[in-house]
C-alpha cells in the first residue's frame, strides 16, 4: 500500500468535506480527487520558480506544457501516488536549485519537506535519491577537478589539443567508472537478495531479521536525537558566551571559488542552522505520518525506515507487467508528442550551451 501520505491527507479532505456539508457525508468521487487535483495544479506552477535558470519565457512555456500534458491531466484526477510523487520530486528540484542560487533557508526547508513527503508517499523515492545523488556526485567530482590545472602546466609545444585545461573531465570520467562498477555490484547483490527473501523457504527468516532491525532502530533513534540536540546546544552555548566564527573566507572556504564551484561553495558555507532545521523538518514529517500522529510510535519508526525498503527489495523479483526495456520509449511518444519534441530540442540546446541545471534536466530525462 506504499507510504502513509495518501491515507492521512485524503482522510483530511474527507473530514473537511464533512464539515462543509459535502454530499455523501463528504466521501464521493469528487472529494477523493481533490488532493490529486491540488498537487497537479501545484506542479503546473513550479517551473515559474526556475525562471532565473530557464528564463522568463522558458519558465512560462514549461508551465504551459505541464498544464496541457495528457499524462499530467490524467493523473491529476486519479487517486494514486503517481501525481504526488511527481509534485514532490519537482518541488525538490526547484527547492535545491533555488537554494544553491539564493542561499535562503526557506528553500532548504522546502527541499526537506518535499523529500520527506516523497518518502512518505512511495518507495520510488529510493530511485529519486539514486538519480539525484549520482548527478550531485558528478557535480562535486567536476568542481573538485577544476582546482587542478593541466594545460597551463605544460608548454605550448608539449600540450596536444586534446589535453583538458583542468582535471575536471578526468575526475568526472573516474567518478562514472567507479559509479558503474559499484552499481553493477549493487544491483547484482540486490537481485540475489530479492531472490532470497522471496523464496518461501526463507520468508520467515527474512521477516525475523527485518523485525530485529526495526526493534534496534527504535532503540537507537532517540539516542541519535539526543546527540544531535547536545551538539546544537553546544553551538548555541558558544554563541551565547560571545564566540563567533572568524569573518571572511578561511580554511576550506578560501579554497572554493563561488563562481566556478557553486555546489561546493554551497556545502562548505552552509550555516549550521540551515541543515539543523532541514533535518528537524524532515524528521518531524516522518514521525507525524509514519507514527499515525504519534499513536503508534514504536512500530511507526521501525516500519517507516525498514518496511518500505523490505517491500521494495521483494518487488524486484515481481517485475509487474514484465515490459521490455524500451516499453516507455514506445508509449511516451503516443501521448506526449509535444513534450518529446521540446525535450529533444532541450537536449540539443544543452549540448550547445550547457549549464548545471540543463545538464541535470537532460540526465534526469534520460
What single string gives the DSSP state of each residue in 278-343? HHHHHHHHHHHHHTTTTTSHHHHHHIIIIIHHHHHHHHTTT-TT---TTHHHHHHHHH-HHHHHHH
Domain total for the chain?
Answer: 2
Cross-strand partners of 166: 149
In tens, the pLDDT along 223-251 reads 888 888 888 788 777 767 766 665 555 56
Give the pLDDT score at 289. Answer: 93
Name the strand (E) or helix (H) holding 254: none
Q: 142 and 49 share a domain?
A: no
Contact 132, 114 (CB under 8 A): no
Q: 62 and 176 share a domain?
A: no
pLDDT at 252 over 80: no
Q: 142 and 117 share a domain?
A: no
The verdict on residue 337 lying in a domain is: no
User: Quick one: cell of 41?
Assistant: 495544479
The verdict on residue 282 lying in a domain is: no
Q: Which of 16, 131, 28, 134 is nearest to 85 (CA)?
A: 131
The verdict on residue 184 lying in a domain is: yes
The verdict on residue 348 lying in a domain is: no
Contact 59, 51 (CB under 8 A): yes
Of the residues 198, 222, 246, the one at which a domain ends: 198
Helix residue spans in the chain (DSSP H) = 5-19, 34-45, 51-54, 56-68, 70-75, 81-102, 105-119, 125-145, 168-198, 203-240, 262-268, 272-290, 297-302, 308-315, 327-335, 337-352, 356-365
Of the residues 122, 151, 170, the one at which a domain ends: 122
Choose the weakest-confidence range: 63-72, 82-91, 170-179, 264-273. Answer: 264-273
Q: 17 and 62 share a domain?
A: yes
Of the residues 140, 163, 198, the one at which a domain ends: 198
Give the pLDDT score at 34. Answer: 94
| Host domain of residue 65 | 1-122
The verdict on residue 251 lying in a domain is: no
Mean pLDDT of the chain: 87
Q: Which of 245, 249, 277, 278 is nearest to 265 (CA)?
A: 249
What confidence category does residue 159 fall into, taking pLDDT thresholds of 50, 70 and 90?
low
Q: Burial letters for 1-26: b for 16+ Cβ neighbours within 10 Å, e otherwise? A: ebbbbbeebbeebbeebeeeebeeeb
Highest mean pLDDT among 55-69, 184-198, 326-340: 55-69
Q: 167 and 96 share a domain?
A: no
Amino acid at each position: 500500500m506504499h507510504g502513509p501520505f495518501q491515507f492521512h491527507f485524503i482522510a483530511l479532505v474527507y473530514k473537511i468535506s464533512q464539515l462543509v456539508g459535502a454530499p455523501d457525508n463528504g466521501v464521493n468521487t469528487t472529494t477523493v480527487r481533490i488532493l490529486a487535483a491540488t498537487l497537479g495544479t501545484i506542479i503546473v506552477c513550479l517551473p515559474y520558480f526556475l525562471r532565473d535558470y530557464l528564463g522568463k519565457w522558458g519558465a512560462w512555456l514549461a508551465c504551459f506544457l505541464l498544464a496541457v500534458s495528457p499524462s499530467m491531466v490524467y493523473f491529476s484526477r486519479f487517486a494514486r501516488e503517481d501525481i504526488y510523487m511527481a509534485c514532490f520530486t519537482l518541488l525538490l528540484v526547484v527547492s535545491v536549485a533555488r537554494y544553491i542560487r539564493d542561499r535562503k533557508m526557506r528553500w532548504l526547508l522546502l527541499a526537506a519537506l518535499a523529500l520527506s513527503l516523497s518518502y512518505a508517499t512511495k518507495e520510488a523515492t529510493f530511485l529519486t535519491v539514486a538519480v539525484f545523488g549520482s548527478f550531485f556526485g558528478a557535480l562535486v567530482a567536476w568542481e573538485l577537478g577544476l582546482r587542478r590545472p593541466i594545460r597551463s602546466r605544460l608548454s605550448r609545444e608539449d600540450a596536444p589539443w586534446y589535453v583538458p585545461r583542468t582535471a575536471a573531465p578526468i575526475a568526472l570520467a573516474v567518478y562514472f567508472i567507479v559509479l558503474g562498477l559499484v552499481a553493477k555490484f549493487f544491483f547484482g547483490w540486490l537481485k540475489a537478495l530479492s531472490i532470497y527473501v522471496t523464496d518461501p523457504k526463507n520468508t520467515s527468516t527474512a521477516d525475523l531479521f527485518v523485525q530485529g532491525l526495526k526493534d534496534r532502530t527504535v532503540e537507537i533513534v532517540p539516542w541519535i536525537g539526543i546527540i544531535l540536540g547536545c551538539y546544537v546546544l553546544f553551538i548555541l552555548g558558544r554563541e551565547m558566551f560571545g564566540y563567533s566564527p572568524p569573518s571572511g573566507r578561511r580554511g576550506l572556504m578560501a579554497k572554493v571559488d563561488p563562481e566556478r564551484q557553486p555546489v561546493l561553495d554551497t556545502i562548505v558555507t552552509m550555516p549550521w542552522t540551515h541543515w539543523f532545521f532541514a533535518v528537524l523538518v524532515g524528521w518531524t514529517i516522518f514521525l507525524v505520518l509514519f507514527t499515525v500522529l504519534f499513536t503508534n510510535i514504536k512500530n511507526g519508526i521501525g516500519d517507516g525506515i525498514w518496511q518500505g525498503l523490505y517491500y521494495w527489495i521483494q518487488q524486484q523479483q515481481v517485475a509487474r507487467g514484465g515490459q521490455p526495456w524500451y516499453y516507455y520509449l514506445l508509449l511516451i511518444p503516443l501521448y506526449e508528442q509535444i513534450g518529446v519534441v521540446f525535450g529533444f530540442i532541450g537536449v540539443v540546446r544543452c549540448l550547445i550551451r550547457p549549464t548545471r541545471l540543463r545538464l541535470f534536466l537532460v540526465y534526469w530525462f534520460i
